[in-house]
Amino acid sequence: MNQAASAKQRFASDLHLALSQRPRSVAPKYFYDEIGSQLFEQICELPEYYPTRTELALLRAHGAEMAACMGPHAQLVEYGAGALRKVRHLIAHLDEPHAFVPVDISGAHLLSACAELQQAYPALAIKPVVADFTQPHDLPPRPARGRRVGFFPGSSIGNFSPAETQAFFQMTAQELRGGGLLIGIDLIKDPAVLHAAYNDAAGVTAAFNLNLLARARRELGAEFDPAGFEHSAFYNAPQQRIEMHLLSLREQRFRLDGVDYEFAAGETLHTENSHKYSIAGFQAQAARAGFRAGPVWTDARGWFSLLWLEA
Ligand code: AVI
């Protein structure tokens, strides 16, 4: 089976599983087909969605200090690399980097982003790894002189389940042993600010969420009435996370591969958690995998942080 066919089959079987259980919940990775990835790019530009802008400003202002933590001759591994926009602010300040190793599952996008980066930094050794970084993967050999260090921006860790978070810390603590990890986290704040960020006035986040159903129709031939579902995003304060759901507006049927799934009015398909953190709480979580807390950079409003963790 080719890669596209097996990815489609995994989406179908995960969706069947999601629809069979109560409460219904599916992994947020299924947002990101071509259309979903474009919608996410648009989210990052929204006036209400502060994380991308805030993190970029921190990287612009403090990239030199962050690169200094990484040390000379570093091998810099970026997890889930995307467009490679943020990492430029580190690369620009690295002292004779050994190599830049972006790890991403989307091979075509990764390679074109690398080609663009290479133009800006012709002397930089770029060694892309096409892989799901949450699964066991190979990296190029460790540098002889410098340290291997990691970069995981965007508070992408916030979309992991607690078990996935712990697995990520365990994996990176081992992979980056003797080096460190620079990681972006979205901080706990006024729920009204969070609510606006995930319920933007232009409706882009709603389209992003609903695209999961549209994707099921495009790729898997799922049959349902798109007008029967609505975007729902709210802050769950006890769990310190934004939850996104697809809310069924009435009693209805969702058909997948000839199997009928009934939705009651008000029932949801839970599509994403986006965890928000305190700095101390996050450092304590990382410490359980052996990371030691280092410098922290936070914007003046206290909305977003980049943390250096020694591995
Ligand atoms: C990718 N991730 C960190 C985003 C977030 O804020 O949790 C995904 C997102 N979902 C809705 N808006 C943005």
> In the predicted model, is pLDDT for residue 307 greater than 80?
yes
pLDDT, tens digit, 9 for 90 and up, residues 48-62: 999 999 999 999 999
Positions of E strands within the chain:
24-25, 75-79, 99-104, 129-130, 148-152, 180-186, 229-236, 241-248, 252-256, 259-263, 268-275, 292-298, 304-310
153 lines ligand 1 (CB under 6 A): no
Tokens describing residue 147:
């340290």
Whether residue 46 contacts residue 55, with contact meaning beta carbons closer than 8 Å, is answered with no
Q: Which of 80, 85, 83 is nearest to 113 (CA)?
A: 83
ipTM of the complex: 0.99
Tokens describing residue 268:
């949801």
> In the predicted model, is pLDDT for residue 3 greater than 80?
no
159 lines ligand 1 (CB under 6 A): yes
Query: What average pLDDT does the chain have?
Result: 97
pLDDT, tens digit, 9 for 90 and up, residues 224-250: 999 999 999 999 999 999 999 999 999
What pLDDT, on the 0 to 100 scale, is given for residue 106? 87
**Distance between CA atoms of 45 and 189, rounded to whole angstroms?**
20
Out of 45, 211, 272, give the residue to mutate to test ligand 1, the one with the largest number of ligand atoms within 8 Å of its CB. Answer: 272
What average pLDDT score do residues 66-88 get?
A: 96
